[in-house]
């Protein structure tokens, strides 16, 4: 699959399900104390008021939570429908349309970048390019937070909430992701692995790495 193919399929999938998705996961962060602890640690590492991008922000829930922790954060997403919800629900925050693989940011512009389950549609052969772009926009010493589901086989979502769209959710192994991040010029800071909650089917990983 080419870069254009997977970006198009991802955008179409989330455009179709945006309203249902936002309603279904409206209070998701509230029910995940360990995830909130990871966000708090990330915010402390980055520092209050420092510029952060929430890459693949969806309806903006993580963006808003990071802002509540004192970060100067904006959201970016491929899906116009998701961005419309994010802007509607968070009128005081900035949200932009764009691709994580080609960020419209100068080199070293950010103190922090978050990819909270947003790299899970990127084919494995394009992860090095994705991580190189993350490194480019981070200042030296900046931090990256990357979350994903753990596993070896993708999970295909077909016709969610009755919408005629299909998308694969790619699961990863933390060791492999750590190797790719190290090769891209990042140094490990923390690795959090938690067991699945009742509404989850697999373990979840959150990695914090620092740009060298």
| Model pLDDT for residues 111-163, shown as the tens digit of each residue | 999 999 999 999 999 999 999 999 999 999 999 999 999 999 999 989 889 99
Look up residue 169 and give its two tokens.
């959710």
**Per residue in 16-39, pLDDT tens?**
999 998 988 778 899 899 999 999
Assess whether pLDDT exceeds 70 at residue 4.
no
Pairwise CA distance, residues 162 & 66, whole Å: 32
Distance, in Å, from the CA atom of 40 to the CA atom of 189, rounded to the nearest integer, reads: 14
Question: Residue 152 corresponds to which tokens in the numbers above?
Answer: 């070896």
Give the DSSP H or E segment for 192: strand 186-194
0.85 exceeded by the pTM? yes
DSSP class of 47: -
What's the pLDDT tens digit per position in 44-81? 999 999 999 999 999 999 999 999 999 999 999 999 99
């Amino acid at each position: 699959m080419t870069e254009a193919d997977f970006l198009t399929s991802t955008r179409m999938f989330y455009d179709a399900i945006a309203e249902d998705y936002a309603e279904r996961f409206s209070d998701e962060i509230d029910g995940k104390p360990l995830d909130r602890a990871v966000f708090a640690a990330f915010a402390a590492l980055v520092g209050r008021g420092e510029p952060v991008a929430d890459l693949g922000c969806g309806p903006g829930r993580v963006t808003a939570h990071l802002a509540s922790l004192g970060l100067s954060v904006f959201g970016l997403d491929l899906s116009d429908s998701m961005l419309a919800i994010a802007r509607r629900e968070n009128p005081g925050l900035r949200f932009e349309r764009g691709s994580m693989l080609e960020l419209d940011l100068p080199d070293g512009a950010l103190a922090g970048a978050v990819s909270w389950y947003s790299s899970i549609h990127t084919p494995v052969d394009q992860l090095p390019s994705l991580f190189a772009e993350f490194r480019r926009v981070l200042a030296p010493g900046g931090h990256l937070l990357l979350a994903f589901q753990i596993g070896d086989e993708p999970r295909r979502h077909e016709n969610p909430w009755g919408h005629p769209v299909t998308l694969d959710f790619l699961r990863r192994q933390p060791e492999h992701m750590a190797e790719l991040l190290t090769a891209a010029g990042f140094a490990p800071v923390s690795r959090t692995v938690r067991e699945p909650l009742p509404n989850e089917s697999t373990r979840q990983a959150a990695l914090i790495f620092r740009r060298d």
